Amino acid sequence: MITKTYESGSVLVELAIIIPLVVMFFYGGFEYSQLIQRQHTLVSISRQLGASALRLCGSRPPGTEPGGTVECLRNRIISETAGQVAQILPGVRFVVTVVRWEDNPSTPSPGAYIQNPLDVAAYPEGTSGEISRETFFPDYPTPGKLAKLLRDHKVLVYAEVFYRNEPIIAKIPLLANSLNRSMYAVSIF
């Protein structure tokens, strides 16, 4: 009789040790799958924003005047898509930029310059992108891949999307450190 009580008590101790580990294992799997799904969503959002901006605003004259690129980006891209994107991922931020290449007649050797300022629209207002103007310089310090691409196409549109992933339960130390991270996606058209 004593051994039977001892056996049932050891089963409870084993369950008390194993159940938290099993719960943490399933919770970690759920959170990591959410992280991967959010990263795929960011890539999809950046592709859609970039493609829409190129199609709707890429051929417009630069500037904020009526019909200009910045005005088009704000009215067609930001106002129409910001609400939808915020519903998909609350807290998402994005920047859509149009870069133009123009020949520079003042340089004796073949050269060009990037129009300044770049045509940029951001959601929410004040969000800044990670790709700088220097990325598109043709000779900064050597021609980069984006500068060569810009020479071929004359207009590039890139959309940068930012999101801060936070786990549902931030108190679990092993998972919270690896899941609490900034996420980023960029698409160039």
When divided into structural domains, the chain yields a total of 1
Domain of residue 66, residue span: 2-188
Say whether 120 sits in a helix, a strand or coil: strand
Q: What is the pLDDT of residues 4-35, one digit of tens each?
A: 555 667 888 888 889 988 888 888 888 889 88
pLDDT tens digit sequence for 122-147: 999 888 888 876 676 655 555 566 66
Helix (H, G, I), strand (E, B) or coil at 169: coil
Which residue(s) pair with 185 in the sheet? 161
Q: Which residues pair with 114 in a beta bridge?
A: 101
Task: Find out whether 87 and 68 touch, Cβ atoms under 8 Å.
Answer: no
Number of H helices, E strands in the chain: 5, 5
Res 82: pLDDT:
87
User: What separation, in Å, do the N-terminal and C-terminal C-alpha atoms of the chain show?
Assistant: 77
Residue 188 DSSP SS3: strand
Kindly state the average pLDDT of the residues 39-65: 91
Tokens 């310059």 belong to 113
Give CA–CA dist 50/74, Å, rounded: 13
Confidence of residue 42 (pLDDT cuts 50, 70, 90): very high
